[in-house]
Structure 1
Amino acid sequence: MSTFDKIDTLYGDLPYMSRPKADFLRDLFLQNNLRDVMEIGFFHGKSSAYIAAILEEQNAGHLTTFDLASARRKEPNIEELLTHLDLSHRVTPFFAKRSYTWELQRLITTTPRPQFDFCFFDGGHTWDTTGFGVVLVDMLLRPGGLILLDDMDWTMEGSKYYQNNPAQMRPYDRDERQTPAVRRIWDTLLPHLGYEHVKEFPDYEMGLVRKAAG
């Protein structure tokens, strides 16, 4: 049984990454020879496990991934999941007290600064967190590196979490609640930073951009 099949068998019901998305990621990794990779938002760690399995198949590479400290309370959490799958050696998870943006700051100010080929961005989703997060990821991404944005059309108003916690939407204007913030960042911020729109994948609600090579 392949590790992908093992993830499906043991953790197929866990949110959020599906097998078709994982197969898509595998193709992307192989086509672009991705090795030094990062991920924003791991939740239970299912997406991290799929990425680690891809790196294990390649016998090369490492994933650095970020989420909030509350992710430790998930059942199973990322550490339990990776240990069970024998993939812990491929992943370094960071548990942020408040925000992954401060954890990225720690990497940015490290000497020598780590550099990555690829970022799977699936965290925050609001204009503030994703917008600033993209700027910080850019500082850690090698020239020619790729960012894959998830949930391109996510909105606060359409989110089950915010629907169940309406008080958390009160500080936001109506247009911000209704605007797909990730798409707005795709349309405005990333071109401003010099990124090329490689391709959008509507079936997966994802968009791929490439950092300028120079």
Structure 2
Amino acid sequence: MTFEHVYNKVKDVPYISKNNAKSLYDFIIKNKPSHILELGIAHGTASCYMAAALEEIGGGSLTCVDLIEVKDSFKPSVEEQLNSLGLNNNVEIHRMQSGYNWFLHNDIKSNSDNAHNICKPKYDLIIIDGPKNWTIDSSSFFLCDKLLKENGWIIWDDYKWTYSRADLRKDATDGISHRRLSEKELTTPHIKAIFELLVMQHPNYGNFIIQEDSDWVWANKIKSPSAKKIKYVHSHSISYYIIQKVRKLIRK
């Protein structure tokens, strides 16, 4: 299914921008991953683009994971959106009681060869878009690493997001109590910290893409990379930024 067809159907449903959706769709078309894992799905809008790209290349599976308690919080749901597009055939949706790290526990266990104490990698692409929390998502990175094939990629959303930007009228964001966080924890971008302190320092990752304007970061799993490469990407053209700056000046 084409990108434009999906976009016309789901463009008004959050939480993925057109630029990020196109990047994801094009990546799948080009690299043809067999197995994709999406952790944190909300309305499942990104799921629709990935399922469409997999259909376009003629195969592959998408596994989506989220909490049971948020199933009725997102309308339309991922199930409704996929069904409306006819893209639910190769998609598995798992609803977990406590979060996606326990799904990862189960997946590692089911893919482990206990006789040799190894876990067989399963996924070519993993997207992590959940609590945006150091404690939870630092663990999820190491768990995902066990399941990610060599030359596979991991993508994180909300690279620069902080709890200070959250709706503080609520007591918690994604189950994390605001009142229990220190001032530093509230103002530090947790995903950026995970990316810089854990992912970029990991010996098995060597290619990194930082999309600062769209808040996405990518990491490529490469066995014993000789050098680590960082690529900064902007989703918009220079003219876009000039127009935005002019608009700000006009408002003033």
TM-score computed with the length of structure 1 as normaliser = 0.91
SS of residue in 2 equivalent to 1:13: coil
1:3–1:85 CA contact under 8 A, matched in 2 = no
Give the AA of the match of 2:181.
Answer: Y
1:71–1:77 CA contact under 8 A, matched in 2 = no
Aligned to 2:77: 77
Give the AA of the match of 1:87.
Answer: L
SS of residue in 2 equivalent to 1:196: strand
Aligned Cα root-mean-square deviation (Å): 1.8
Unpaired runs of 5+ residues, structure 1, are none
Unpaired runs of 5+ residues, structure 2, are 113-119, 225-252
Aligned to 1:9: 8
Q: Distance in 1 between matches of 2:209 and 2:11?
A: 28
Aligned to 1:183: 192
Q: Give a deviation string over 1:49-100, Cα, whole Å, max 9, x none.
A: 1110111111111111111113321222111211111111121111111111
Q: Distance in 2 between matches of 1:199 and 1:6?
A: 27
Structure scoring higher RCO (CA < 8 A, sep ≥ 6) equals 1
Aligned length: 211
Aligned to 2:223: 213
Aligned to 1:202: 212
Aligned to 1:44: 43
TM-score computed with the length of structure 2 as normaliser = 0.78
Q: Distance in 2 between matches of 1:49 and 1:101?
A: 23
Aligned to 1:133: 140
Q: Give a deviation string over 1:100-124, Cα, whole Å, max 9, x none.
A: 1001111100046560011111111
Identical positions, percent: 29
Q: Distance in 2 between matches of 1:159 and 1:19?
A: 23
Aligned to 2:27: 28
Equivalent runs, 1:45-194 vs 2, <5 Å: 45-73=44-72, 74-111=74-111, 113=120, 115-160=122-167, 163-166=168-171, 168-194=177-203
Q: Distance in 2 between matches of 1:183 and 1:60?
A: 33
Please identify, of 134-143 and 5-14, the stretch whose mean Cα deviation from structure 2 is larger.
5-14
2:121–2:149 CA contact under 8 A, matched in 1 = no
Hey, which of these two has a bigger chunk of helix by percent? 1
Q: Distance in 1 between matches of 2:60 and 2:159?
A: 27
Q: CA deviation at 1:36?
A: 1.2
2:161–2:190 CA contact under 8 A, matched in 1 = yes
Q: Distance in 2 between matches of 1:204 and 1:184?
A: 17
Q: Distance in 2 between matches of 1:197 and 1:207?
A: 11
Q: CA deviation at 1:10?
A: 3.2
